């Protein structure tokens, strides 16, 4: 009898927040591997905000997932068959295996992992794409200097928490913004932020802006943007002349066609937005981390020893079962996760 696997495919394109009917769980035969390929049994798969954009049939920096196609994404697991001389059954690997219990890939497309060095889940979070995004965006585009003030949204997420911790090692005052008092406590107690503000405690951007200003009496020098929405409206007018804004995401708008459910009359859009950038001479740099993997080795050499020494903390939020991936993804887009969102499959 042929061995089988499960996969989650995109059944239809969502309008707004993805619903269960936009996905379909399928059982199919395990794929055969060709020359130079390996077959991996997935242990953990990653859920990331960028996946929402790939569900839309619109121009973006990555191709849209086609209807009936396996949802794409990073995953880690154990090699169970190999036609590649660098991988053997029993090895662990990181690859773009998608929302599936198994995946195959060319050997040069995946990365071998050593579970004795760090848990394999860290390759999807603190030592993977999200951690690298935070490190690169801050160090290369944020250009942090000792004595400056940094603000970052989603402060307990895998990107924001890395940004805050690296900024602290460079002597900055770090102010996080997060959703809920519990997350704010984690931001200060676990990730070492000097302060953290609960954006859910404020109905308008103006009210949130006052709270941010109180924690940033000298203004803001670096704002790491991965949220958008009300947080952007609150923070942008407070950035000092010559401030830097690394821009890697806008999760507040992903379900709403670029508008955002929390858009308010005082939203900093159009002429007001551009005037603020011009008058304060801000450097706003959008970046896609997949274009910068030539620096991944530098990231590992910098952050790896810090993680091993306990100087970098991380948090993981783990759902169980492929069938629960859509619900976990919805929760992620709402800010319901604490730390890196993963799905455990085995």
CA distance 184 to 223: 18
Q: In a 3-state reduction of DSSP, which class is residue 276?
A: helix
The residue-averaged pLDDT of 330-343 equals 93
Question: What token pair was written down for 68?
Answer: 């009936």
- What pLDDT was estimated at residue 276? 85
List, in order of start, the domains of the chain with CATH numbers.
Answer: 4-125+314-344 (3.90.180.10), 129-289 (3.40.50.720)
- What pLDDT was estimated at residue 261? 38
- 190 pLDDT band (50/70/90 cuts)? very high
- What pLDDT was estimated at residue 1? 45
Interval 54-73: pLDDT, tens: 999 877 777 899 999 999 99
- Encode 48-87: b = buried (16+ Cβ within 10 Å), e = exposed: bbbbbebbeeeeeeeebbeeeebbbbbbbbbbbbbbbeeb
User: How does the average pLDDT of the chain come out, rounded?
Assistant: 92
- 306 pLDDT band (50/70/90 cuts)? very high
CA distance 68 to 85: 33
Q: In the beta sheet, which residues pair with residue 41?
A: 78, 102
The residue-averaged pLDDT of 125-142 equals 97
Q: Which residue has the higher pLDDT, 283 or 192?
A: 192
Residues 6 or more apart whose Cβ sits within 8 Å of residue 3: 29, 30
Question: What token pair was written down for 178?
Answer: 């997060």
- What pLDDT was estimated at residue 264? 40
| Ramachandran bin of 3, using left for φ above 0, alpha for ψ from -120 to 50, beta for the remaining angles | beta
CA distance 142 to 222: 6
The residue-averaged pLDDT of 30-45 equals 97
The residue-averaged pLDDT of 134-163 equals 97
Interval 225-267: pLDDT, tens: 988 788 998 999 999 999 999 998 776 666 654 333 344 434 5
């Amino acid at each position: 009898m042929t061995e089988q696997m499960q996969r989650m495919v995109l059944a239809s394109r969502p309008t707004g927040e993805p619903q269960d009917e936009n996905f379909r769980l399928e059982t199919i035969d395990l794929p055969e591997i060709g020359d130079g390929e390996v077959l991996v049994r997935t242990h953990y798969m990653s859920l990331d905000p960028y996946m929402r954009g790939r569900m839309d049939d619109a121009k973006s920096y990555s191709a849209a997932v086609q209807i009936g196609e396996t949802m794409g994404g990073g995953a880690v697991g154990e090699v169970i068959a190999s036609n590649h001389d660098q991988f053997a059954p029993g090895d662990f690997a990181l690859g773009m295996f998608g929302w599936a219990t198994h995946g195959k890939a060319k050997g040069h497309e995946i990365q071998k992992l050593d579970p004795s060095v760090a848990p394999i889940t860290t390759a999807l979070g603190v030592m993977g794409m999200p951690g690298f995004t935070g490190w690169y965006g801050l160090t290369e585009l944020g250009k942090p200097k000792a004595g400056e003030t940094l603000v970052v949204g989603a402060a307990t997420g895998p990107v924001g928490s890395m940004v805050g911790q690296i900024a602290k090692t460079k002597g900055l005052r770090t102010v996080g913004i997060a959703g809920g008092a519990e997350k704010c406590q984690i931001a200060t107690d676990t990730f070492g932020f000097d302060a953290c503000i609960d954006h859910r405690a404020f109905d308008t951007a103006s009210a949130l802006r006052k709270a941010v200003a109180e924690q940033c009496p000298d203004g803001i020098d670096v704002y790491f943007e991965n949220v958008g929405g009300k947080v952007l409206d609150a923070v942008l007018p407070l950035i000092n002349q010559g401030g830097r804004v690394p821009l890697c995401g806008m999760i507040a708008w992903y379900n709403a066609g670029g508008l955002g459910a929390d858009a308010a009359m005082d939203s900093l859009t159009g002429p007001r937005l551009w005037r603020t950038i011009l008058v304060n001479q801000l450097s706003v740099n959008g970046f896609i981390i997949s274009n910068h993997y030539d620096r991944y080795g530098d990231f590992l050499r910098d952050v790896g020893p810090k993680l091993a020494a306990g100087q970098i903390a991380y948090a993981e939020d783990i759902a169980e079962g492929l069938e629960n991936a859509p619900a976990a993804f919805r929760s992620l887009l709402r800010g319901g996760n604490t730390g890196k969102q993963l799905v455990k499959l085995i």
